[in-house]
């Protein structure tokens, strides 16, 4: 069995695949996907947890099946095939929720079957699962699903506490504090979502966090630093100017690698179909 490789930070690629969806590529906060259920069902924490777990289950299961069938499904009909696979697992989730959690089924309403057309699920099937092995697809689905679940819980916690004065149905605000009804309305949902997105961006882009990430990476080579127009000192990632330059180079290298990988996969599929 092939051993998992490590990236520039020394982190296992499998671990990186899982961790990516938690913050850097969080489906809701960074990719702006799945916002309809984010705004509609997050008036209570129980709703957020239920929707998040259902979506995670569909992400993992559909990703694994798509990965296993990626060489069998013709490229020309891949999207209808992916939707059929996703719909099968959504139907299974709907049956389980309706049988064992009828209150949650009633609370989620139409948004539970609409997981079929959730951009997160179809997007990961098309962009990742159809190009990677089953283990990687499962980890990607789990990471994206848990990141989406975290976003739902964070948003529903704020809205339930401020809008109803409760958390998981238990009163947490003092009796003399009146709940803000606007928080359980669409306007409150948009406001909370905006603050949470801003907070997630600040956490990732904060200089201390960025320095911590870059310190794990290998130091820039003297040749690269010598050619750099920024006079920041050779191989000194603690300098903010050098860190910015190295960070941009890392992003450009990652984008170029992803582009070449997608082109190679597309050429391989075209040769197989021919």
pLDDT tens digits along 44-70: 899 999 999 999 999 999 999 999 998
pLDDT tens digits along 158-177: 998 898 888 887 888 888 88
Beta strands in the chain (DSSP E): 166-167, 170-171
Q: Which of 33, 193, 41 shows the shortest CA–CA distance to 120?
A: 33
Question: Is the same domain home to 146 and 259?
Answer: no
Q: Is residue 212 part of a domain?
A: no
pTM: 0.69
Read off the tokens for 33: 């996907």
Domain boundary among 205, 236, 256: 205
Domain containing 250: what range?
Answer: 222-273
Judge residue 17's burial from the number of C-beta atoms within 10 Å of its C-beta, 0-12 exposed, 13-18 middle, 19 or more buried.
buried
Q: Which of 50, 47, 52, 53 shows the shortest CA–CA distance to 169?
A: 47
Q: Which of 29, 51, 32 shows the shortest CA–CA distance to 40?
A: 51
pLDDT tens digits along 67-100: 999 888 888 888 999 999 999 999 999 999 999 9
Question: Is the same domain home to 108 and 192?
Answer: yes
Residue-level pLDDT at 156: 92
Q: Is residue 7 part of a domain?
A: no
| Mean of pLDDT over the chain | 79
Q: Is residue 215 part of a domain?
A: no
CB 156 within 8 A of CB 43: yes
Q: What is the domain count for the chain?
A: 2
Q: Is residue 109 part of a domain?
A: yes
Question: Is the same domain home to 98 and 162?
Answer: yes
Helix (H, G, I), strand (E, B) or coil at 26: coil
């Amino acid at each position: 069995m092939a051993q998992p490789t490590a990236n520039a930070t020394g982190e296992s690629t499998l671990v990186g695949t899982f961790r990516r969806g938690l913050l850097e590529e969080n489906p809701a906060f960074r990719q702006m996907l799945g916002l309809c259920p984010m705004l509609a069902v997050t008036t209570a924490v129980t709703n957020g947890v239920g929707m998040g777990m259902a979506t995670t289950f569909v992400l993992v299961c559909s990703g694994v099946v798509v990965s296993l069938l990626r060489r069998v499904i013709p490229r020309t009909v891949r999207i209808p095939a992916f939707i059929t696979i996703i719909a099968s697992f959504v139907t299974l989730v709907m049956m389980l929720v309706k049988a064992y959690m009828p209150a949650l089924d009633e609370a989620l309403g139409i948004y539970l079957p609409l997981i079929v057309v959730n951009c997160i699920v179809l997007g990961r099937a098309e962009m990742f699962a159809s190009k990677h092995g089953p283990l990687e697809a499962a980890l990607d689905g789990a990471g994206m699903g848990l990141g989406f679940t975290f976003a739902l819980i964070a948003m529903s916690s704020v809205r339930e506490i401020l809008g109803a004065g409760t958390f998981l149905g238990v009163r947490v605000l003092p009796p003399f504090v009146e709940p803000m009804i606007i928080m359980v309305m669409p306007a409150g949902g948009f406001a909370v979502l905006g603050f949470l997105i801003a907070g997630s961006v600040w956490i990732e882009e904060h200089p201390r966090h960025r320095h911590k990430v870059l310190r794990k990476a290998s130091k820039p080579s003297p040749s690269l630093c010598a050619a750099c127009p920024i006079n920041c000192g050779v191989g000194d990632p603690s300098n903010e100017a050098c860190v910015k330059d190295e960070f941009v180079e890392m992003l450009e290298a990652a984008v170029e690698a992803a582009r070449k990988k997608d082109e190679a996969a597309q050429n391989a599929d075209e040769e197989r179909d021919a």
